[in-house]
Structure 1
Amino acid sequence: MTATTESDSADWNEFVSRHPQGSVYHRYEVANLIKDTFSQQPYYYKSSNQEGSINGVLPTVRLKSVFFGDYFVSLPFFNYGGVLADTPEIAQGLITKAAKAATQIGASHIEFRHIDPVSANLTLRQDKVLMVKPLPDNREALLKEFKTKLRAQIKRPAREGAVARNGAHDLLADFYQVFSENMRDLGTPVYSINFFRALLDQPWIDSTILVVFIGNEPTAAAFLIKDGPRMEIPWASTRRKFNRLSVNMCLYSEALGLAIDKGCSVFDFGRSSVDSGTYRFKKQWGAEPVQLNWQYWLADGQKMPALTPSNPKYQLAINTWQKLPLCIANFLGPKIIRSLP
């Protein structure tokens, strides 16, 4: 079990591409993207067989701040990560290696964002599910799957003049206007626009921006990432003053259609708590839950981390953030969110 270097990148990516749980976020280049965008330090581990071929990888990133502590995540800022290995024994060896490094540094924990659990020796968290929908071959078949009420909700924004456009850098400013305003209204620090620009710049990430306009006003927006046959919508937002026009229905309908146009067979709505508002919203589109098994290595004496907006200790900060002018929230947000997973 060894740490990796840039020379390992091709072999690392080849292993990720053939592993059934591998994702675009496991690719070696993500280390540099996170380091360059968030100024956080990646710690990447690999295992190799006697012939020198990689048979296991573990990407982690150290997040350290005065306010939120010192810990590792595999992987922060994205929904997926964790150990990829050919056998449980190899997986355990990589976890042990990462835990040893975390102990030496004095980190409180390591978070592994697994779909399927890989080790019985880790603390398990199962409060979130992944919402996934199989896609038909064409848009017409997709529309026929929807109930009458949903089809009516999809049509309503068009009567208000809503038009969906997809693109990349040309829509980045419009996307960020919607996204940052929504994050401020939720009381959540926002990512820097440079993070999304960096994602668009990567030739190994197939990303698309989708924006719903009414006139010249961006009203709803999403950042989509295609990973093989799967289309993921990791970031989506609407501007509160346009919610009454159901522009989110236009956004998601077009996102599903775009996924079909790009040849995807699965649409990934992201994670939700069971029976939450977002869970029910995704369910109406035909998404079904897949249990997420996030696992944790905890240093001696440490408890499970609770770095979530639902933690009561953050409520005052959330309420204060919601009242900030947008320009101030957008200036301060990236400085804070870089240390949150």
Structure 2
Amino acid sequence: MDTNVSITLLTPNDYAQWDEYVDSKTASSLYHKTAWIEVISKTLKQKPLYLIAKNSDKSIVGVMPIVDLNSWLFGHYMVSMPYFNYGSAIAESIEIEHALIKTAIDLAQSSKVSHLQLRADHELELPDLHVNTHKVNMVLSLPESAEALGKAIGSKRRSQIKRPIREGVSHKFGGLELLDDFYHVFCHNMRDLGTPVYSKAFFSSILETFKDNALLCVVYWQNKPVSTGFLLHYNGRMEIPWASTVKYANRISVNMYLYWQILSHAIEQGFKEFDFGRSTIDAGTYKFKKQWGAEPQQCYWYHWVPEGKEVPDLSPSSGKFDLAIKVWQKLPIPITKLIGPPLVRNLP
């Protein structure tokens, strides 16, 4: 590594240069963009701390977005990046990437956090860090036409897509004008899963901030919204960070129709890949995504913890949240909308 490389906290003066650097890198994701600083700080009330590495000529040679999360329920910790599947450092060399991570660890130590989590899509070659590899991102290489996709998924899936069509479903793609319908379905589905919901303001902020990268799809049945997906796209890849279907519509396979319309749209718009999001291998969601032809891409989630400490398990599947999940599933929707956002802002 160039000994003249300096690593500092990002200031607004470098936002434009940071984003230009991110846009120039194939390894970057939408979640490396500086616009998330305002979204996260204003709607989730958490503290972004972004690290920027510069050469002696002041050119950027590496970046690393970090969010400092502080909660009475889950403690004080840092994640790069929370709420999403991608983050960690991107840099001109392994040496600079490691230097950014070392600086992040120093920042975590000085802040006395319980742990630092890095959500990488590749091995970091840092043996001193704990790594979890039980999750994968399911990614589909999109064919050139919806017809080709239809042939690839087979007759059983095609018949499942036709069922809701016979039932008279319809769909819309759009932005803020569909947010109420999206949020209605999202809140019902999250309640049934026992999961706190994000605020509507969070989704509104994303749609407003990333006008050219964000899109909603809502499916209607009997004049009511019943299934929906929140879509983000960047660098030739479309992904679906949030998808929901109301329970009573599952009997007509409306989620199959939703994904068919979304994938067909992605193909028509010229995207090369579709990211279904992360799953545990062989879990139900993994098998659902696999049937569309998606292939697993390994997640490498690294953790630094202070010496003598263990990595805390904040996963809903850990078992310690079982009672809370059962209680949440019985709450009225208006209550979940009220108390959900203050809780979920602390869940990475």
TM-score norm. by structure 1 comes to 0.98
Matched, 1:26 2:27: no
The equivalent residue for 1:248 is: 255
The equivalent residue for 1:177 is: 184
CA deviation string 1:264-283 (max 9, x = no partner)? 01010001000000000000
Match for 2:94 among 88, 95, 100? Answer: 88
Alignment of 1:11-90 (within 5 A): 11-90=17-96
Matched, 1:283 2:299: no
Deviates more, 1:162-171 or 1:296-305: 296-305
The equivalent residue for 1:150 is: 157
**AA paired with 2:18?**
W
Q: How far 1:153 sits from its partner (Å)?
A: 0.5
Alignment of 1:106-255 (within 5 A): 106-120=112-126, 121-203=128-210, 205-255=212-262
Q: How far 1:205 sits from its partner (Å)?
A: 4.8
Q: How far 1:204 sits from its partner (Å)?
A: 6.0
Deviates more, 1:86-95 or 1:171-180: 86-95
Q: Does the CA-based 8 Å contact 1:117-1:294 persist in structure 2?
A: no
Match for 2:267 among 260, 263, 286? Answer: 260
The equivalent residue for 1:302 is: 309
Q: Over aligned residue pairs, what C-alpha RMSD do you find? A: 1.1
Deviates more, 1:100-109 or 1:229-238: 100-109
Q: How far 1:217 sits from its partner (Å)?
A: 0.7
Q: Does the CA-based 8 Å contact 2:135-2:299 persist in structure 1?
A: yes
Q: Does the CA-based 8 Å contact 1:205-1:225 persist in structure 2?
A: no
CA distance in 2, matches of 1:262, 1:177: 27
Flag structure 1 segments of 5+ consecutive residues without an equivalent.
none
Q: How far 1:33 sits from its partner (Å)?
A: 1.3
Flag structure 2 segments of 5+ consecutive residues without an equivalent.
1-6
CA deviation string 1:199-256 (max 9, x = no partner)? 1101465111001101211110000111121010110010001111110000010110
Identical-residue share of aligned pairs (%)? 46
Q: How far 1:85 sits from its partner (Å)?
A: 1.0
Q: Does the CA-based 8 Å contact 1:42-1:60 persist in structure 2?
A: yes
Q: How far 1:104 sits from its partner (Å)?
A: 1.3
Partner SS, residue 196 of structure 2: coil
**AA paired with 1:87?**
S
**AA paired with 1:94?**
L
Q: How far 1:98 sits from its partner (Å)?
A: 1.3
Q: Does the CA-based 8 Å contact 2:35-2:209 persist in structure 1?
A: no
Partner SS, residue 310 of structure 1: helix
The equivalent residue for 2:277 is: 270
CA distance in 2, matches of 1:43, 1:117: 23
Q: How far 1:20 sits from its partner (Å)?
A: 2.3
Partner SS, residue 321 of structure 2: helix
**AA paired with 1:333?**
G
CA distance in 2, matches of 1:119, 1:189: 35
**AA paired with 2:273?**
V
TM-score norm. by structure 2 comes to 0.96
Deviates more, 1:185-194 or 1:11-20: 11-20
Q: Does the CA-based 8 Å contact 2:216-2:231 persist in structure 1?
A: yes
Partner SS, residue 336 of structure 1: helix
Partner SS, residue 66 of structure 2: strand
CA distance in 1, matches of 2:143, 2:51: 39
Matched, 1:319 2:330: no
Partner SS, residue 31 of structure 1: helix
CA deviation string 1:38-78 (max 9, x = no partner)? 11011111111111101011110011111101000111111
CA distance in 2, matches of 1:16, 1:333: 33
**AA paired with 1:237?**
S
